[in-house]
Amino acid sequence: MLAVLGGSGLTELAPLTVTRKQIARTPYGEPSGPITVGRLNGVEVMFLARHGYGHTLAPHEVNYRANLWALKDKGARRIISVCSVGGIDARFGPGSIVLPTQLIDYTWGRSATFFEGAEQAVVHVDFTHPYCAQTRRLILDSAVEAGVPVVEGATYAATQGPRLETAAEVDRLERDGAHLIGMTGMPEAVLARELELPYAAIAVVVNAAAGRGESAGGISQEAMGPILRESMQRVIRILECVAPRAARANPSPKGATP
């Protein structure tokens, strides 16, 4: 089953006809909330709000391990993450929908592996290509079907937050090769990989990164809301087309096609 992990602006999947809500307990504690299962465009899909249904969990407070574990345990076989980001690159202005192909992790102090503890053998999972190309293909084909422009190919910088960046930090991220900045992309992506769940992200640009474009003098939180709401409507149209496509596709082995 396809699972959608919703971020800011997507705390529920409005067109989902809900059939059940499942409370999940995991060896890693509680996920961000109950897992909603329902039908989207005739196909069974799961949904989990990453920040909790009341949007109370900051990026560093999210129990990523519990979320991923719970989704897999309840039958998820592929994950699409929806996240809001700041755009470093002028090509990715507010309202752009971007499918990242690479990431750089700047987060710290988050539980970022299932392979730890006395009972666990150490595993160094391959993460050369952090996002699943097959899942991106499904999203791209669906975006064409939905008539929603989407750009593929960007490097996502995962920052710790919850504060936004300084202009100098954004300059550094750009020098590092990053095009987008978000706070929740890691360790989510690597935990999905460890569980061999194909994972791709739909990044919605809600602001120019600090010091760039219209954020030269600071990031306006007021401007973000309408962009987020409008963009999520487009994302939902894509997801409605993804659901039946994902149901027809066989998930790639080991959770990735490079």
Residue 183 binding ligand HPA, by CB under 6 A? yes
- Output the smallest distance, CB 202 to ligand HPA, in A: 14
Question: Hey, which residues between 148 and 177 contact ligand HPA (CB under 6 A)?
Answer: 159, 164-165
Report yes or no: 93 and 86 within 8 Å, Cβ to Cβ.
no
Nearer to ligand HPA, 124 or 163 (CB): 163
Contacts with ligand HPA by CB under 6 A: the residue count is 12
Task: Give the residue carrying structure tokens 């990431």.
Answer: 103
Determine the distance from the C-alpha atom of residue 188 to the mean position of all C-alpha atoms in its chain, rounded to a whole number. Answer: 8
Q: Which of 207, 236, 241, 246 binds ligand HPA (CB under 6 A)?
A: 207
Q: Is 67 left (phi over 0), alpha (psi -120 to 50) or beta?
A: alpha
Nearer to ligand HPA, 219 or 239 (CB): 219
Question: Hey, which residues between 62 and 121 contact ligand HPA (CB under 6 A)?
Answer: 84-86
**133 burial level (CB within 10 Å; 0-12, 13-18, 19+):** middle
Q: Which is nearest to 4 in space by CA: 74, 82, 72, 67? A: 82
Residue 9 binding ligand HPA, by CB under 6 A? no
Instruction: Catalog residues that contact ligand HPA under the rule CB under 6 A.
Output: 84-86, 159, 164-165, 181-183, 206-207, 209
